[in-house]
Structure 1
Amino acid sequence: MIVFASLAALIAVIAGLFIARPLAREKHGAPIALVTTGAIALAAFMIYFPGAEPGEPGQPHSATVARLIEADPSTLTLEEQEERLRALVRREPDNTQALAMLGRLLAATERELEAVSVLERALRIEESARTLSDLGQTLVTLNEGEVTPAASRAFERAYELDPALPEPAFFLGLRAYQDGDREAAARYWGAIIAQLEPGDPFRGAIAARAADLLSRPSAGPALGAGGEAAGEAPFADLDPGEAEAMVAAMVDRLQARLDENPDDFSGWMTLVRARATSGQREAALASLAQAQSNFDSEPRRVMLSALARALGLVPVSGAQQDEETR
């Protein structure tokens, strides 16, 4: 393409010199002639360039675009899919489906800022729960996992339009969790689990993620295997006996709070995790059994079962593993 465009420019230079030759003879006309020649050459190059196709000299760009538009998207490379969508948007500026798909592709290829712009453009034409959810997720990625107010608004509107769409409910739950409202988070995540069919992989993934987040201590580091903090050592300056005493005191305080407020779902999950990761297996099983007795709704039992599996605990009597997460 560049070779032919350059040839076109060369021809234009010759033509420009011929056209500008009379100007060059005039006093102070040489600069004008030079500018005129350059302008003609540039114009010729720009006229040729859009119609050329890389690797296929002489093939009109419009033919390539037509081929991409008519092609099965699954047979195209990622770059061809993007060019196809951009061509569709140029041809049909109000094609919200093409805009939404282009926005998703840009987000998937880590071009979040452009993706936000494209998705917002689609939403100005027509609201869609899926596009709103895509916009919210892109904003979360752009802000390193934080569910910002702008993302929250997108998820809230998506949830209004389609409560059955799982992603908005998940991220609204995550926002509640980040705001410190664990009960609201559990309700959002439980609603997703309740509406998804047994065997749906997304159901198991939501349960596992909810179990992980809701079982983390609300203050201080999360405990890892053996009672140590995940990724850090908060008791590194203490001897083993002192560290064990501090963990035991934390667990005792949590148990006392749950005796006063047995409806604290996240509190029970935290207690099970703290005891299991501190090596108190039997105590962890007893706490798990109590939690399963307190919360008999299917979604919450699914989350408790996911926690038990993650901690390597054997399900207790009356707590059958949820069918889709076996």
Structure 2
Amino acid sequence: MIVFTLICVALGALAAIWLARPLLGEGGPARMVGLGAGAVLAIGALAAYAVNGMPDAPGAPYEPRMAALRDVDPATLSPAEQEEWLRDVVRREPADLDSRRLLARYLASTDRHLEAIAHLEQALRLRTDARLLTDLGQIIMELNEGVMTPEARRAFRAAHDEDPARPEAAYFLGAAAYEDGDRNTAAAYWGGILARLEADDPNRMLIASRAADLLSRPSMGGGDPAALTEGAERPDIEAMIAGMIDGLEQRLDDDPHDVSGWLTLARARMMQDDPASAARALARGRAVFSEDPGARALLGALGDAFELEETDA
């Protein structure tokens, strides 16, 4: 069979050259070389197939193979079979958004982010869904190596608008606000998550710990901290830092509704090796935000990280 195919291809190439003879006189040797090269390439491709191809191998019809996979518990399938199983479901039931979402997440986990994004966008044309939008935002960030692109931000915003109770989109929107330097908005998003989650939810503890750590870090307003103390002696540096911390405390006396400010003050007092003042700062913050469970959770998380006992303001 292979020999017969090679003979047919060779005859076809010779026939093409014969039919192109009228053109050869116009193009000269260069056109002859081009036609000859095309014939050689065609014959070479068939020769490679003759060596490596397996035309006699038994086929694997699609439908019987998929019918067998459908009768098996998906959890027992290999990753490649699971992908094939999901693709089959999506092909047969295009409106099955859960299967399309699972397929998109699997594709993203195997570095096929663009195809994953395409599946999520197709699903969103059928129905707007907060989980799909959140997954879309996350996969766009993964594609861009963790950068919060405008497209990812829009996806998270749409997810949060669709279902404000879901924590995932709010977490990423808080992270975006923090990157923008808007700590109050970040604290509002993260505190809102903590207020809705149960006290014993492990995700609540993780989010509270991470958010409290970020919000307690000193903000230099985009400046270079080293530039503030460049050329100063150590006693002068310590005095400058102490003055900045006292200034922060004075600002909180004037405007106490700043949970990030109380967190930063507590961390700063701990850096001064003054845990009593750190505990007082957290206590004052809890008193200010007595009606805000999310803010109190952030303050409590930092106290737990520093192993400080809760005290009254």
TM-score category, normalised to shorter length: 0.7 to 0.9
Which ranges in structure 2 are unaligned for 5 or more consecutive residues?
22-34
Runs (4 or more) in structure 1 with deviation over 6 Å come to 26-31
Aligned residues: 294
Residue of structure 2 equivalent to 1:290: 284
Q: Distance in 2 between matches of 1:9 and 1:101?
A: 43
**Counterpart contact for 2:208–2:298, Cα < 8 Å:** yes
Residue of structure 2 equivalent to 1:240: 234
Deviations 1:106-151 (A, max 9, x none): 2223333332222222212322211101011122333444433322
Deviations 1:56-96 (A, max 9, x none): x5240514444444433322333332333334444555543
Q: Distance in 2 between matches of 1:27 and 1:214?
A: 78
User: What is the DSSP-based 3-state SS (H/G/I as helix, E as strand, rest coil) of the residue aligned with 1:106?
Assistant: helix
Q: Distance in 2 between matches of 1:160 and 1:73?
A: 34
Which ranges in structure 1 are unaligned for 5 or more consecutive residues?
1-7, 223-228, 320-326
Higher Cα radius of gyration: 2
Q: Distance in 2 between matches of 1:101 and 1:220?
A: 42
**Counterpart contact for 2:140–2:152, Cα < 8 Å:** yes
Q: CA deviation at 1:152?
A: 2.2
Deviations 1:22-61 (A, max 9, x none): 959x798997xx68x859959x99xx98x99xxxx52405
Question: Share of identical aligned residues, percent?
Answer: 42
Q: Which amino acid aligns with 1:96?
A: L
**Counterpart contact for 1:285–1:313, Cα < 8 Å:** no
Q: Distance in 1 between matches of 2:160 and 2:89?
A: 29
Residue of structure 1 equivalent to 2:5: 12
Q: 1:309 aligned to 2:304?
A: yes
Where in structure 2 are the equivalents of 1:1-326 lying within 5 Å?
9=2, 12-14=5-7, 16=9, 38=43, 57-62=57-62, 63-219=64-220, 238-296=232-290, 297-310=292-305, 312-317=306-311
CA RMSD in angstroms, aligned pairs only: 3.9
Deviations 1:176-218 (A, max 9, x none): 2223322222222122112222321111111112101211222
Q: Distance in 2 between matches of 1:10 and 1:308?
A: 81
**Counterpart contact for 1:221–1:234, Cα < 8 Å:** no
Q: Distance in 1 between matches of 2:14 and 2:222?
A: 83
Q: 1:109 to 1:189 in 2, by over 3 A?
A: same
**Counterpart contact for 2:280–2:312, Cα < 8 Å:** no
Q: With structure 1 as the length reference, what TM-score do the two structures score?
A: 0.74
**Counterpart contact for 1:65–1:84, Cα < 8 Å:** yes
**Counterpart contact for 2:130–2:158, Cα < 8 Å:** yes
Q: Distance in 1 between matches of 2:293 and 2:208?
A: 11
**Counterpart contact for 1:69–1:88, Cα < 8 Å:** no
Q: Which stretch of structure 1 is more off in the superposition, 300-309 or 65-74?
A: 65-74
